[in-house]
Structure 1
Amino acid sequence: MRDLVEYLAKAVVDHPGAVRVDERRGREGWVYYIETHPEDKGRLIGRQGRVIEAIRTVVRSFGKGRVNVEVR
């Protein structure tokens, strides 16, 4: 799952080498934190959060709803 999150994040940003994904176990399942170059943070979030919501939707469909994705 971590590889999927990393792949999707790297596909969106201009500096794919700066993308780092950390995974932690939360109360409601796994939480994936995406860290990226400061210039790419807006690109990863997208207008009105559309890009990050799309990434969350894809990841949740693979994780059966028990995962979350956050941007740092």
Structure 2
Amino acid sequence: MTAMQYLEFIISAIVVNTSAIEITEKQDELGTLLSLRVDPSDMGSLIGRGGKTIDAVRTVMRVYGSKAGIRLNLRIIEEPRTAEIIA
């Protein structure tokens, strides 16, 4: 299982709209950067109260990377919610 597959497995258990999960991988001199985008309505579930959920996900991914011998970093790409105007 690759790092992207493992991250998708974890995130799909947290969010409701699993079809909106987008993960990209980029290699650089600092290691591997995984960028994650989810549906804006799932952002609260992903981050969790006080950021505890996303901190736990980052920790698990760092451990995964350590076991695989790579340095993994996780970036969350936030899209602004579109507000509905009620007139």
**Structures share fold, TM-score greater than 0.5:** yes
- The aligned amino acid for 1:55 is V
Kindly indicate whether residue 75 of structure 2 is the aligned counterpart of residue 70 of structure 1.
Answer: yes
Q: Relative CO higher for 1 or 2, CA cutoff 8 Å, sep ≥ 6?
A: 1
Tell me how large the CA RMSD over aligned residues is.
1.2
Structure 1: 4+ residue segments shifted above 3 A:
none
Structure-1 residue corresponding to 2:48? 46
In 2, the alpha carbon distance for the partners of 1:27 and 1:11 equals 31
Separation in 1, partners of 2:46, 2:37: 10
**Larger fraction in strand:** 1
Deviations 1:40-63 (A, max 9, x none): 011111111111111111111110
Equivalent residues, number: 72
Distance 2:29 2:51 in 1: 24
Measured in 1, the distance between the counterparts of 2:35 and 2:49 equals 20
Q: Which amino acid aligns with 2:72?
A: V
Q: Give percent identity, aligned residues only.
A: 32
Higher helix share: 1
Q: Which has the larger radius of gyration?
A: 2
